[in-house]
Amino acid sequence: MAYKAVTIKAGKGGFGGPLTLVPTDTRNKVVSITGGGIHPIAAKIAEMTGCPAVDGFSTGVPDNEIMVAIVDCGGTARCGVYPKKRIFTVNVLPVGQTGPLARFITEDIYVSAVDESCISYADASAAAPKPSAGTPTNPATAPKTKAQAKEEIAKMNEGKEKNLATRIGIAIGGIVNKFYAAGRETIDITVKTILPFMAFVSMILGIISASGAGDVIANTISPIASTLPGMLIVSFICAIPFISPVLGPGAVIAQVVGTLLGVQIGLGNIPPQYALPALFAIDAQVGCDFIPVGMSLGEAEPETIELGVPAILYSRVITGPIAVLIAYVFSIGLYS
Amino acid sequence: METIAAFANGFMDLFRAGSETFIAWVTGIIPLVVIMMTAVNSLIKLIGEDRVNNVAEFATKYTVTRYTILPVLAVIFLCNPMCYTFGRFVEEKHKPAFYDAAVSFVHPVTGLFPHANGGELFVYMGIAAGITQLGLSLGDLAVRYFIVGVIVILIRGIVTDRIYAHMSSKK
């Protein structure tokens, strides 16, 4: 096969890399998971390596055939899912170690802010000894030393009977450790995800309110969001099958719109009981960008994913407005 | 000179409004969310995944529980995005519907359990901020959001299941 290895480095403001991709006979698919279609970066990598590019949104690919996944993830899910599976991941957006799976996003498996200038042919010497699993060390020696280390630890523990006090101590230590780990996880997600989002939305809100654009929004959004037909239309638009995957990523749009609506509710332009149906109206597209990845996390077969994507997208057109109706019924008696 | 100073003041005002919002959020939302998230995260670690898995296996058997209890447990215990891995308990033909149900719950859950989707809190919290500003309590909205969420994911699961079955029978 005339496969060629390429090296991909991080672009401006990017993180991770450089990654060297070496296609093999089984692991040779360039999978583009960018809300439908082949991203130009995926096409470029495919062209340079001689590998096929696959639209991961409409075609399911088994994990062991993916040489590299191209994502356009804003920082919640996709950018972490593939690194967690130890699949090379190229993010076209400048996103570093963020999201709930941030700890799996490491420099040896992930590279971001990639544009075409970041991709170059790998020189033969760098590429040759590198296995597709992505570990630059020689695989024959690494496990051996690990086994030796294990043996040594086992030897050290030999002949040490644990008494009751020690066991209670260990149990308490384990529980305390769990609390501590929970705290660390929480602070991690607060610093890496919640605070940056607050910073960016409060900046936008500030500019909107100080510049006077707020009045324009109040005059256009409020009348729509304070009637049932208006909200049904919003949910229908969000659920249109070719729009919903584009609106999805990171729920950023739903979050910004939610915040804008919150401001209008606070000002009294939208009655508070409409908060409940509005929550569903602006969210009919939830997760539509993530369908193939989400299903593959549930170990679905590629054929299931292929049919499942349109099934879910069509279903949303029906269930999006239904959700608003149910929420409307449940909002009766709320804050009145 | 005065015009320049006025321009500079106007420029700063543009960001001052934003900084006030930011302070209100950091002091008003973060402390409570941090403590809640830590508490629930600890609880989940103490209960352990094995016990949740047992319940999950039972819940896949019936249509109603498959699109209510299973996704709710998955989202609360595994959080977004690992909750979708519960799809492995579900039969192949129900996997698209399960994903649809689970992903549709990652926002309704945040009213009561913000830990489950810390990265996307503002779908709910953005709107909730307006309710707080009016001096109304959030409990009622959070509970109703959760209940309607469960009803919606059940309907979504069933509808997607039908559509998928129809499409795969045609092929």
Peptide bond into A94 cis (omega under 30): no
> SS3 letters for A166-228?
HHHHHHHHHHHHHHHHHHHHHHHHHHHHHHHHHHHHHHHHHHHHHHCHHHHHHHHHHHHHCCH
Give the number of other CB atoms < 10 A from CB of residue A247.
23
Candidates A315, A326, A336: best to mutate against B (most CBs of B within 10 A) is: A315
A168 touches chain B (CB under 8 A): no
Among B29, B45, B103, beta carbon nearest to A294: B103
Q: Which helix (H) or strand (E) covers residue B154, if one does?
A: helix B139-170
Q: Binning pLDDT at 50, 70 and 90, where does residue B4 land?
A: confident
CB contacts < 8 Å between A and B, how many?
293
Partner B contacted by A295 (CB < 8 A): yes
On whether any CB of chain A is under 8 Å from the CB of B123, the answer is: yes
Give B54-108 as a DSSP string: HHHHHHTSSHHHHTTHHHHHHHHHH-TTGGGGGGGGS-GGGHHHHHHHHHTTTTG
Chain-chain contact of A297 with B14 (C-beta, under 8 angstroms): no
Per-residue pLDDT band at B151 (split at 50, 70, 90): very high
If you write DSSP's letter for every residue of A54-84 in order, what string do you get?
EETTTS---GGGEEEEEE---SSSHHHHHHH
Question: Is residue A95 within 8 Å of A112, Cβ to Cβ?
Answer: yes
Q: Rounded distance, CA A156 to CA B65, Å?
A: 50
Q: What is the DSSP string of A92-154?
A: SS---S-STTGGG--TTTEEES--GGGEEEPPHHHHTT--TT---S-TTTHHHHHHHHHHHHH
Element (H, E) at A88: strand A88-91
What's the pLDDT score for residue A157? 55
CB contact under 8 Å between A290 and B81, yes or no, is: yes
Q: State phi, psi for A287 to the nearest 5 degrees.
A: 75, 5
Distance from CA of B5 to the nearest CA of A (A): 17
Query: Residue A142: pLDDT above 50?
Result: no
Confidence at residue B143, expressed as pLDDT on a 0 to 100 scale: 92
**Disruptive mutation site among A97, A98, A194, A247 for chain B (greatest number of B CBs within 10 Å):** A194
Query: What residues of A are in contact with residue B34 (Cβ under 8 Å)?
Result: 186-187, 190
Under the banding of pLDDT at 50, 70 and 90, the label for residue A185 is confident
B43 to chain A: nearest residue by CA? A179
Place of tokens 């308990």: B89
In this complex, is the C-beta atom of A94 within 8 Å of any C-beta atom belonging to chain B?
no
Collect all residues with Cβ–Cβ distance below 8 Å to A210 and sequence separation of at least 6.
Answer: B13, B14, B16, B17, B18
* pLDDT at site A156: 56
Residue of A nearest to B116 (CA): A100
- Interface check for A234 against chain B (CB to CB < 8 A): the answer is no
* Residue in this structure with the two tokens 């969310």, named with its chain if needed: B33
Predicted model pTM: 0.67
CA angle B134, B139, B144 (to 5 degrees): 105
ipTM associated with this complex: 0.83
Cβ of B16 under 8 Å from any chain A Cβ?
yes
Question: B71 — contact with chain A (CB < 8 Å)?
Answer: no
Check CB contact under 8 Å for A323 and B38: no
The one-letter amino acid at A210:
A
Predicted pLDDT at B162:
92
Q: Summarize pLDDT for A226-282 with one digit per residue, the tens.
A: 888 988 988 888 888 888 887 767 677 888 888 888 888 888 888 888 899 999 988
**How far, in Å, CA of A300 to CA of B93, rounded?**
9
Interface of A with B in 201-220 (CB under 8 A): 201-207, 209-211
Q: What is the pLDDT of residue A209?
A: 74
Residue A140: is its pLDDT beyond 90? no
Give the contacts of B50 (CB within 8 A, at least 6 positions apart).
none
| Residue A73 known to be catalytic | yes
